[in-house]
Structures are given as structure tokens and as C-alpha cells.
Amino acid sequence: MIDSILKAKNLNGHSHDLYGDDHLPSGMETPLRPDAFDLSDSEKKARIAYHFGQIMETLGLDLTDDSLKGTPGRVARMYVDEIFAGLNPENRPEASLFENKYQYGQMLVEKHIGFYSNCEHHFVPIFGKAHIAYISSGKVIGLSKLNRIVNYYARRPQVQERMTNQIGADLQQLLRTEDVAVIIDAKHLCVASRGIQDDHSSTVTAFYGGAFLNPETQAQLRSFLAD
């Protein structure tokens, strides 16, 4: 999808091939096998339920207990239908463009877009706010579609850096302009609930393209996000 028309970009919007560090994304695209969609959703749920039940049994949990016996199936449905639904390109939101009839030529900013994702390293939640800005090239998009695009890329095992770039690159393609910025501020439960167990820190990533590579334009954007 994105990689068919764009090179991967780093967080400053410049061309970059692949990220090599274990804690950085391996590329612009979420790493999927070629046969990722050979199984139907029902088949995936059946397999996930079985294997998650095996994990629970290995942990010593009693799956005959009324509270636990339905858990494998619930987890399977949650994975396929909800929190990882963004893996399937068929779930990509439809987004129509409209003429910029008001001739609005300044940046448009939608801030505080809430999202929930999951860290691909530990499969625990990432959650926070995304802020999106763009300058129209003659076309505009419905505001709710910005939320839906964020939600689509969030609903998959993710790395925040990759998610930021995926949203930015997709919006550039969709809006037919390089003038797009994405800023994400998120908490990672792999930091808060395990390991260092720091529940106060958050992670901020940014994608700047086109006019947003200009420091003055970035400063204007930050002023809009300051309150």
C-alpha cells in the first residue's frame, strides 16, 4: 500500500530506507507474511482461542472455572475484530475529498485524537493522543476521517515511530499534499506496568512534511497545541 508509492521516511520527513535498531521499526510497513490473509477471520479466531487456552493452561489456570472458560474465545474475538483489526487493509476507512470552497489556505489542526494501540514487543497497550495538521492543496477531508485513519493504524501491533510515519505518509497520499504534520504523545504499558515500571513518562514522536519542515511553521503548530 504505502510502500508501493513512497520510500520510508524518518521522523523528520527525510528519505530513509530501513530502521535497524531492535527498538525502532523495521520499515514503514507493518511486517506481515505474504499469507497473512489466507485464513478467514473465523479460522483465525479458532486458532487464537486454542493457543491462548494453551497459554492459560501452561500458567496453571483452571479453564473449567466459570470466569475463565470463555476467556480464550473472548481474547480471539478481541484480537481479530477489535484491537488488531487494522492489520486487514479491508478495514481501511473510506475517505472522500471535497473541494476547498472556502479557500482556506492556512494550516488546519485537529488535536487530542485519542487512540489505543498495542506494543508489538510485549503485546501490552500503548495509548495517548495524536495531533494532525495539514495545509490544503485544494482538497479537504471530513474531520472524523482523520480520527478514523489514526484508529486504523493504531489497531495493530505497533511501534510508535512506525505508526507516526504510517499516518503521515497515508495522509500525504490521501490529501495530495506534502504539507502534513503528525505528532503523537503516548504512554506505553511495557514501560509502566513491567520492566522499569515508570507510569509517569510518555513518548513523543513527530512526522513533518512539506511546509512543516520549516521551523517557523513548526513553531506555529506548537503554539496551537500549547493549551
Query: What residues are labeled active site?
Result: 119-122, 160, 188, 190
Q: Residue 17 is placed in which grid cell?
A: 530506507
Question: What is the DSSP track for 12-76?
Answer: TS-B-----STTS-SSSS----TTTTSS-HHHHHHHHHHHHHHHHHHTT--TTSTTTTTHHHHHH
Residues in the chain, total = 227
Q: Residue 143 is placed in which grid cell?
A: 474531520
Q: At what angle do helices 143-154 and 160-175 cross, to 10 degrees?
A: 140
d(CA 15, CA 26): 14
- Which residues neighbour 219 within 8 Å (Cβ) at sequence distance 6 or greater? none
Q: Are strands 157-158 and 107-119 parallel, antiparallel or unpaired?
A: parallel
Alpha helical stretches, state H, the chain = 41-58, 71-77, 143-154, 160-175, 189-192, 215-225
d(CA 211, CA 204): 20
